[in-house]
Every structure is written in structure tokens, then in C-alpha cells.
Chains A and B, each alone.
Chain A
């Protein structure tokens, strides 16, 4: 027994000695809050992979302010309660700033805590509009707000498709209605295409023929459905069954493999979707370099749009610390709000007063005849 204690103490001593050279360089501790386990575990894992690549890139250049970056990982399990606990821990461990997290409803409790502690927190997948309407000073996000997608749809209709008559359908969920309202507002503002039909369906419903029959009478050229894929697939198919040959456009929750399976390939082919670009479709040279590194390490590119936004969150933090020479939350937040402008993995990045990213980078995707999603080219 005594021997074991002695051995432990010796081990501890060795570890301390080993740790000394690292401590000597005073690493910058930056938090990463992500769903490493739980229902969104794959998202958390890819975000962690992405952030680690940026960390290694920065450290290879000599770090920030001459100090290497150290990532402090916090697993919020995609659970709001756990998220608050993780945020508490991050604050008490004294991290400089935080990257995170994925889900909007998960981010909300954590951001409240970071805000109170004055710790800059940059979300990477939390797109809900309300997050930037609390007047928070320390919250930012590198992903775009849901309603920006509506503006992109308006642009797609007016410039790319050049359609004159548009129908918009949503399913009354917060997300889908928000997107539909944003699309309608943007279309009305542009004043080109006319909205000839605007209505909601009930989620979980299977027969949409009554509402589609009414829509047919208004002969739309483009139909935009902002809800989720189970209803989207049935709507796309029942549209064809009723002889509506308008272009079906889905929001970023409407089209995936199961959409194609339920609608059937012959119906799904030619459907469009407005979405954040997949990492593989980003056009910037820095995205290519990042992706090459990602593929080298993990064998394949990230399968969802979100992980690269986490990479950019760390890029933003590193740039802000370097430029201000400070690790003070208030200084960093002020700089990111007003001055920061960098070329990130996901394109040019700057923020407005609310903490939202400026601009909007979306892509239209098309379902190809083999059921895969490809960037849409007219």
C-alpha cells in the first residue's frame, strides 16, 4: 500500500516535470463546447476535428501572441441542462473565449452564462433568429441566421429561375414559419416575382391534395416548402399527381436521402433546395486547404455544412486576440463587433452589432437523376 502511494507520488512528480515546459509557454486556453455524445454526436465529433485542425495550423505558425492555443473540450451532449453545466465549468476554468455550440436551444442557456461572465462565445450551428435578439454583447455566430435563407430564396427566384409566380408553404413550426415569412418579405421587397399562394400544412399529415388543388388554381411556377422532409416528399409527389409541374424548392430541412426515397427518384429529380454550402462546395482557396487537411486526417470531408463554421469560430477568436493583443472579453467583443474582417474557411467574415455574421452565403442544390445532391447550375 505504502509502495503504491510512493509510486503514485513519483508518477505525479514526473508528470509535473513534463508539464513544466508546456506551462512555460502559457497556452491560450480556448473552450470548445460541442455535443460530443448524445443524438448529435456526429456533429460534435466533426466540429472537434475541424477546430483541432485550425488549432494545429495556428500553433504551427507560432501560435497567437507567441502562445500556443489549447482547446478545453466541454461535452454538452446536445442537452440544455448539460449545456449550462459545461458553460459554468468553462467560466470557472477561466477560458479566454468559447467556440460553441451546435443546437440553438442548447446554446441559449450556455450563452446566458457566458454573457454574465463576459466570455466571448461564438456559436457554429445555432441558426435560430431569437439568439441575437436578446441584446447580448458577447454572443456571435459564424453560421447565418435562418431568415437570411429567405433572402437567398428571393434572389434565386428573381435572378436564377426568373419566375413570376411563387407559392410558399410552411408547417407552422417556429423554424419553418420564420423561413417562410422571411422569404415572403424578401420577395415583396424585391417586387419582381408575385406571391400567388401562401399557406400552412399540418405536420404529420399525409394527404395534401386539398391544399395543393387550391394552389394549382393559382398556377405557380415555383413552390417553396420551408418545413421538414417527411411532408416535403409527400408534397412534391402529390404536386406531380395533381398535374402541377412547378419547380419544387425545399428549405434546408426539406431535402435529404429520405426525401428522395419517399418521393421517388423520378419525382425528386430536378427538385431544388436552398442550403448552406457543403464544405466540399466552398469556392475559396482557404477552404480547399482546410478540406485537404481534413480528408488527410479523417479519410473523408465533413458530411454536414456545420463543422467548418466551428473552424471559423476559432479563426475569428485567434484573429481578434492577435489584433488586440488582449485576452479580455470586453476588448475582444468590441473588436469582433466593430473591426474584425477576415477570410475564413467559409468565406469573408464580419459581424454586425447584434453578433450576426454579415452577408449570406447559401447555395442552391439540385436533386440529380441518381438521387444525389449537386450544386444547381442553370
Chain B
């Protein structure tokens, strides 16, 4: 039982990170029907930006720990949002009228470009988030070990996800995004500036990814320029699992994927973890080809 609760906690922590990254994939797909393969790289750059801000500024000493972390996360989100906007302008906007395959190739190109840029900027070796960034607080209740960072990741991720859900479902802006997702031309007839909405998507998605990157860096302390690929793949899987194009689907998919992964590794074998997860994904897609929450086509974003 102890093992189960602990793996559940680990799974939710990792899953929250997957969910934040998965939102970026699913939103872009919802609005543009495009898999943004550069998204994993934006997540990785978020981790590196957070790292740079953390080690190169005096923020840690100047502000109380919590406020400093908030500032670092916000700075990384802002920086990566700008980058996301640039990627959209440079790599996707010129291809708006081209067929989908062209856009996918362009996305892969951006991904390789960003990955190599990170390698040149920060070096090919592993970088480590400084240990003082988050106090190493851990609780042990009835043999279950849970850390402050795990609680923090889950909390930040939930706040961001609920905020996004509110914006999409309850505001005019959200209605415009949903309308654009359903039909670009009709949305345009309704007076919605579709280009602006697409830009907005490329601000929100990468910003969430960047937040995930910083949280991940703080949690494991170790970042590497290639990590965008593996986490991107997992998050993409999570988006598919939940039903791609569906925002709550990405959240559920992420948390589910993380939990399955950790339970699989805990009870079966760590070496077979990925095989286990993808086997479940295949089974799920056989039963429900649109993913867990994928059938509400009319509302997909």
C-alpha cells in the first residue's frame, strides 16, 4: 500500500509536467490541425531559460524563496512565449496555404534548429539547477515519502490548467478560440481575427511548456539539450491518449500517462515501463480511436 501511494504521488508529479506540455500540442492541433514538433524543444528551452535566470541573477537572495521562484517561472514563460510567437511567424505563417506535410517538415526543422542552438549556447554537457533554489523539504507519513517539490509541481500545474480551462470556457476570448478551432472561415465571418487567435495559441502553449520545463529542472535538477525530444514524445502521447485537440483531454491524458508509467515501473519492471505505457495506448486507441475525451468534436480546441 505504501508503495502504491508513493508511486501514485510520483506518477501525478510527472503526469502534471506531461499535461502542461501536452496542452501545447493539443491547442495547436485544435486550431491549426498541425502537430507542432518543435514544442518539446520549447519546453526544453524553458528549462534552460529558468536555469540561466536562476544562476545568473541575484533573484535568489533578493526576494523570499517563493516569490523568486514565481518570478523565474514567469520570466521563462515570457521568454519562451516570445520564442513561440517567432516560430509561428517564421516557420508556420508562410506555410498557411501549403499542405500539411510541408508544415510538419518545417516543424521538424525548427525542432532540430532549436535543439542545436541550445547545445551551442549552453554546451553539450548536463547542466544542474542549483540545489538552493528549493529547500529540500520532505515529509514521511506512515512510510510514504513526499517532497515539497512534488506538491509544488502539482499545485502550479493545477492552477495553470484551471486558469486555462476558465479562459477557454468562460470568456469571450475563449469563445473566439473555440470558434476558430471549429472553422477558420466562419470564424473570420464572425469578425474574429484568426491570425491573432493563432498567435495567441503560440503564446499560451509555449508558456505552459516553459513553466513545465522550469518545474522539471527544479525537481530533477538535471537538464540536457536533448530532453525536449523524450518529454515531447511522452506529452504528445498524453495528448493522443486524452484525445488530441481536446483541452481537458490533454490534462487527463498527462496525469494518466504519468501514473501508468510509474505504476508500471514500480510493479512490473523499470526497463519495460515504456513498452507497458505504449501497449496501453494502443489498446485504448483500438477501443476509442478518438482518445479518452476526444468525441466532443464540436468543442475541441
Residue numbers in B under 8 Å from A204 (CB-CB)? 230
Would A206 and B266 count as touching, CB distance under 8 A?
A: no
Given known A-B contacts A202-B271, A241-B145, A210 and B10 have beta carbons under 8 A apart: yes
Per the 8 Å Cβ criterion, residues 10-28 of B in contact with A are: 10, 14
Q: Are B222 and A206 in contact (CB under 8 A)?
A: yes
Output the residue of B3, B263, B264 with the most chain A CB within 10 A. B3
Query: Is B270 positioned at the interface, with any CB of A under 8 Å from its CB?
Result: yes
B-side contacts of A213, CB under 8 Å: 3, 6-7, 266
Bitwise interface map of B from 239 to 272 toward A, beta carbon under 8 Å scored 1, else 0: 0000000000000000000000011111001110
Residues of B within 8 A of A26 (CB): none
Contacts of B3 on A, CB cut-off 8 Å? 213-214, 217
- Residues 40-80 of A at the B interface (beta carbon under 8 Å): none
The answer on a CB contact under 8 Å between B125 and A258 is: yes
Contact B221 A262 (CB under 8 A): yes
Q: Give the docked Cα–Cα distance between A2 and B94 (Å).
A: 66
Q: Is A208's CB within 8 Å of the partner chain B?
A: yes
Q: Is A237 an interface residue (CB 8 A)?
A: yes
CB of B172 within 8 A of chain A?
Answer: no
Q: In the complex the two chains form, is A208's CB within 8 Å of B147's CB? A: no
A209 touches B271 (CB 8 A): no
Q: B164 an interface residue at 8 Å Cβ cutoff?
A: no
CB proximity to B under 8 Å, residues A206-231: 206-211, 213-214, 217, 230
User: A281 on the interface (CB 8 Å rule)?
Assistant: no
- For A211, the chain B residues whose CB sits under 8 A away are 265-266, 270
- Whether the Cβ atoms of A209 and B220 lie closer than 8 Å is no
Contact between B145 and A199 (Cβ–Cβ < 8 Å)?
Answer: no
Instruction: State whether the Cβ of B131 lies closer than 8 Å to any Cβ in chain A.
Output: yes
Taken together as a complex, chains A and B put the C-alpha atoms of A202 and B265 apart, in Å, by: 11
Contact A209 B6 (CB under 8 A): yes
CB of B138 within 8 Å of the partner chain: yes
Q: How far is the CA of A209 from the CA of B10 in the complex (A)?
A: 7
Cα of A234 to Cα of B216 in the assembled complex, Å = 13
Q: Is A164 an interface residue (CB 8 A)?
A: no
Q: Is A105 an interface residue (CB 8 A)?
A: no
Given A207-B14, A261-B128, also A234-B270 (CB < 8 A)? no
Interface of B is mostly: helix
B262: A residues at CB distance < 8 A: 207, 209-210
Q: Does A338 contact B (CB under 8 A)?
A: no
A200 interface residue, CB < 8 Å from B? yes
Answer whether residue A242 sits at the interface, using C-beta atoms and an 8 A cutoff.
Answer: yes
A233 at the interface (CB under 8 A from B): yes
Query: Is the beta-carbon distance between B125 and A201 smaller than 8 angstroms?
Result: no
CB contact under 8 A between A201 and B220, given known A207-B262, A213-B7 = no
Asked if B93 is an interface residue, CB under 8 A from chain A, the answer is no
Whether A234 touches B273, Cβ cut-off 8 Å, given contacts A211-B265, A214-B3, A243-B145, is: no
Q: Point out the residues of chain B lying under 8 angstroms from A328, CB to CB.
A: none
Tell me the chain A residues, 263-285 only, with Cβ under 8 Å from chain B. Answer: 264-266
Q: Check A172 for interface membership: any CB of B closer than 8 A.
A: yes
Q: How far is the CA of A241 from the CA of B128 in the complex (A)?
A: 17
Q: Residues of B contacting A243 with CB < 8 Å?
A: 140, 145
Are A207 and B266 interface neighbours, CB within 8 A?
no
Residues of chain A within 8 A (CB-CB) of B125 are 258
Partner of B126 from A172, A214, A217, A262 at Cβ < 8 Å: A262
Q: What are the residues of chain A within 8 A of B273 when measuring CB–CB? A: 202, 210
Chain B 260-291 interface mask (CB, 8 Å, partner A; 1/0): 00111110011101100000000000000000
Decide: B6 and A230 in contact? CB cutoff 8 A: no
Chain B residues, Cβ within 8 Å of A266: 131
Residues of chain B lying within 8 A (CB to CB) of residue A201: 270-271
Residue of B7, B128, B220 touching A206 (CB-CB under 8 A): B220
**Inter-chain contacts of B216 with A (CB < 8 A):** 206
Q: Is the CB of B222 within 8 A of A233?
A: yes
Q: Which residue of A lies closest to B126 (CB)?
A: A230
- A200 to B273 Cα, complex, angstroms: 12
Alpha-carbon separation in the docked complex, A199 to B147 (Å): 25
- Which chain A residues numbered 3 to 61 have a C-beta less than 8 Å away from chain B? none
- Are the CB atoms of A207 and B126 closer together than 8 Å? no
Across the interface, which residues of A come within 8 angstroms of B138, CB to CB? Answer: 241
Q: Which residue of B lies closest to A209 (CB)?
A: B10
Which 8 A-B pairs give the minimum distances between C-beta atoms?
A210-B265, A210-B266, A211-B270, A264-B131, A262-B128, A261-B128, A209-B10, A206-B220
20 A-B pairs besides A243-B145, A266-B131 with CB distance below 8 A are A172-B271, A199-B271, A202-B271, A205-B270, A206-B216, A207-B262, A208-B270, A209-B6, A209-B262, A210-B264, A210-B270, A211-B266, A213-B3, A213-B266, A230-B126, A230-B222, A230-B224, A234-B220, A262-B222, A265-B131
Q: List 21 A-B contacts (CB under 8 A).
A: A172-B271, A199-B270, A201-B271, A209-B6, A209-B7, A210-B10, A210-B262, A210-B265, A210-B266, A213-B6, A234-B220, A237-B221, A241-B138, A241-B145, A241-B147, A243-B145, A258-B125, A258-B126, A262-B126, A262-B221, A265-B131
